[in-house]
Amino acid sequence: MMFCPKCGSILIPKKEEKKVVIKCSCGYEKADKSHAVVKERIEEKAKVEAVEEEVEVYPITHDAECPKCGHSAAYFWEIQTRASDEPATKFMKCQKCKHIWRDYK
């Protein structure tokens, strides 16, 4: 990379008529480009694989009973759905049938 001696910006090669000139936005121009090299490096990024199975990251409680299937284990999380002075709403998700319900205990 080459920098402008006037303002310090990066000098950009531009084509004017049939020659290439290195110019800056401040007006500085340099015709001698013998030590200027323009190169581009493209790196291949790692591919992302799709996972078909659903992975649960929530904690499990064994004190909840699913209203749909009666299973005793459920994932749970809390979300503040009302004003900040009100308690958070606790959501439960059955480990067996994936039914979601609110727990108001």
Q: Catalytic residue, from 44, 53, 54, 86: name it.
A: 86
Query: Which residue ranges of the chain lie beneath pLDDT 50?
Result: none
Quick one: which of 22, 21, 26 has its CA closest to 9?
26
Predicted local distance difference test score (pLDDT) of residue 36? 57
At the top level of CATH, the class of 60-103 is mainly beta
Q: Has 85 been annotated as catalytic?
A: yes
When the candidates are 1.25.40, 3.90.550, 2.20.25, 2.40.128, the CATH number that belongs to 1-39 is 2.20.25
Are 102 and 77 contacting, i.e. CB atoms less than 8 angstroms apart? no
Predicted local distance difference test score (pLDDT) of residue 70 = 92
12-16 β-sheet, strand order: 12-16, 19-23, 29-30
Q: What is the pLDDT of residue 66?
A: 93
pTM: predicted TM-score of the whole model, two decimal places: 0.48
Catalytic residue among 52, 56, 85, 103: 85
- Are the C-beta atoms of 97 and 71 separated by less than 8 Å? yes
Domain boundaries of the chain, sorted by first residue: 1-39, 60-103
